[in-house]
Amino acid sequence: MLSVQIYQEQSEDLLSEMTRELNLVYYASDAANKMQFENAEELHEAVKRAMEICLHAGLSVRKNFKQIYKCSYEGVTYDWKLSVLGFYLVCLNGSTANPNTAHMQIDLLKNAALDL
């Protein structure tokens, strides 16, 4: 009976992991390119703030962010796989000096104000 229970738990874990992977459709580096972040530090801070937002809002960080490693001729680097929510949170949390971040935040607020 114990082996059946262990198998069910492993199957549930595998299904949960597969579902998680299907929802992680973007890379943080894609957000950095879209928003024209100046450097890796801006991206790192945007990811950190986006994760903190999820944490404080009671949303699963694990379901929205996954650190991955990429290999290239330049060596091994890390990136993040993101859900749609994670992607837009990273975009919105770029440096306040970044005009693309500012425009995205303003556009979001304008659209929200139109819905009032």
Nearest to 30 by CA among 98, 93, 87: 87
Nearest to 53 by CA among 93, 101, 112, 98: 93
Confidence of residue 74 (pLDDT cuts 50, 70, 90): confident
Region 92-114 average pLDDT? 93
pLDDT value of residue 113: 85
Neighbours of 103 (CB within 10 A): 11
CA contacts within 13 A on the Cβ side of 79: 19
Strand 26-27 and strand 65-72: the pairing is unpaired
Three-state SS letters, the chain: CHHHHHHHHHHHHHHHHHHHHHHCCEEHHHHHHHHCCCCHHHHHHHHHHHHHHHHHCCCCCCCCEEEEEEEECCEEEEEEEECHHHHHHHHHCCCCCCHHHHHHHHHHHHHHHHCC
Neighbours of 51 (CB within 10 A): 19
Look up the pTM and report it.
0.81
* % of the chain exceeding 90 in pLDDT: 72
Confidence of residue 50 (pLDDT cuts 50, 70, 90): very high
